[in-house]
């Protein structure tokens, strides 16, 4: 089972728009990431997002390339400052490949908790639009398979 954890794309400043939708750069970064994932043959059975506009937009763009036959879903408990323990314990029983679009520090803390059992031990440094692929090797044992950041994709 794979768990793809995505930090939403770059958003506009709160002063520009309090809803903080994706900026044009953020949208382009996510489009390039979606194309790369699709070209790599990645498919997921679900895409979950936090409900914040920038996360929902990111999820929708990614869904066009990696989600077949379903719509993205808003889920509770993955906001920036939500505790990661409940989500992590639920992840141990899933059997489908899932993509989750959320925020920092939640995403970084989740990677750390799943791989080291210590949410405070930062292992990866997300930037807007980044994705980390975790693989569950057995119950309660996750490893980082790979990470990709938008700046590694070039100008597309």
pLDDT classification of 68: cutoffs 50, 70, 90: confident
Rounded to the nearest 10 degrees, the angle between the axes of helix 53-66 and helix 24-39 is 30
Expressed as residue numbers, the domain containing 91 is 2-153
pLDDT digits (tens, 9 = 90+) for 12-31: 999 999 999 999 999 999 99
Report the CATH number that the domain containing residue 72 is assigned in CATH: 3.40.50.1240
Q: Does the global pTM surpass 0.85? A: yes
pLDDT classification of 114: cutoffs 50, 70, 90: very high
DSSP 8-class letter at 80: T
pLDDT digits (tens, 9 = 90+) for 93-112: 888 999 999 999 999 999 99
C-alpha 69: how far from chain center: 20
The confidence score (pLDDT) of residue 156 equals 53
CA dist 61 and 27 (Å) reads 8
DSSP 8-class letter at 41: T
Domains identified in the chain, total number? 1
CA dist 60 and 39 (Å) reads 17
């Amino acid at each position: 089972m794979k768990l793809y954890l995505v930090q939403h794309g770059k958003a506009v400043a709160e002063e520009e728009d309090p809803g903080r939708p994706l900026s044009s750069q953020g949208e382009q970064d996510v489009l390039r990431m979606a194309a790369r994932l699709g070209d790599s043959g990645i498919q997921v059975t679900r895409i979950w997002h936090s409900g914040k506009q920038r996360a929902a937009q990111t999820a929708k763009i990614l869904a066009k390339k990696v989600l077949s036959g379903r719509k993205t879903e808003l889920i509770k408990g993955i906001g920036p400052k939500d505790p990661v323990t409940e989500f992590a314990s639920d992840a141990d029983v899933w059997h489908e490949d899932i993509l989750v679009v959320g925020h920092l520090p939640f995403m970084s803390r989740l990677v750390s908790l799943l791989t080291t059992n210590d949410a405070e031990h930062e292992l990866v440094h997300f930037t807007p639009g980044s994705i980390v692929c975790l693989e569950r090797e057995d119950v309660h044992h996750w490893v980082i398979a790979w990470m990709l950041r938008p700046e590694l994709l070039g100008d597309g």
